[in-house]
Amino acid sequence: GALYQYWGAKMVLTLVMPSVLLAVYVIRQMPMQHAMFPALFTMGFGFFAPDFYLYLRKRQRQDQIFRGLPDALDLLVVCIESGLGLNAALQKVSEEFHMGNRVLSEELKLTCGVIRLGQPRQDALHDLGERTGVMDLKALVAVLIQAEKFGTSVGQALRVHADDMRTRRRQRAEELAAKTTVKLIFPLVLFIFPAIFVVLGGPAVIKIMEHFLNK
């Protein structure tokens, strides 16, 4: 029912928000010709509001998966190297991560469920990467599929991938830290510097004004 809820929310918001605006104009006895552009704006806002809401929820969900993926990968390596098969290792990770990262746990449980229902494991893993949209998870899925296809050691491939992912995460953190100085320019110029100028230059300006006014 998610698709019907999505389009239902679009239709309701597109109709209700302009109607409320027009009702306000009628109650306040304001000219209706002035309500044309605000009504069109609220109609467009109501139509695209569900898309914006879904975009924010998607980013939040992807961020949760991204933050929980390194720990899940370490646990997956431990499970595989202890003798569990890949399916059993994925099931174990999904169970252990239920409290720590519920979003990633649900995705892994769904993948294990479709594998048990008969879908090929490669297709289920591919669907996992496409469904979440997280690039690091897609890379992990590609490693698992290639290791299974070419018969290489899954544990060794995951360990190498884990090291590579930690390197990418560190580089991403350094990149975000380097951008911090640029992002601080705008609040400094707009908020902090004017307050400093007022505090430092205010008394001098008051003294100068008093000096000229007394003359």
Dist CA 148 CA 33 (whole Å): 67
User: Contact 94/179 with Cβ under 8 angstroms?
Assistant: no
pLDDT at 94 (0 to 100): 84
Sign of the CA dihedral running 45, 49, 55, 57:
positive
- Rounded CA-CA distance 75/169 in Å is 18
- The pTM of the full predicted model, rounded to 2 decimals, is 0.69
**pLDDT, tens digit, 9 for 90 and up, residues 172-211:** 888 888 888 888 888 878 888 788 888 887 787 788 887 7
**132: burial class by Cβ within 10 Å (0-12, 13-18, 19+)?**
buried
Question: Which residues 6+ apart lie within 8 Å of 61 measured at CB?
Answer: 103, 132
**Exposed / middle / buried, residue 212 (Cβ in 10 Å: 0-12, 13-18, 19+):** exposed
Tokens standing for 20?
Answer: 């409320």
Residue among 22, 14, 5, 4 at smallest CA distance from 49: 14
**Three-state SS for 100?**
coil
* Tens-digit pLDDT profile for residues 97-156: 887 788 888 888 888 888 888 888 888 888 888 888 888 888 888 888 887 777 777 777
Contact at 8 Å (CB) between 125 and 144?
yes
Between CA 111 and CA 81 the distance in angstroms is 21
What's the pLDDT score for residue 215? Answer: 60
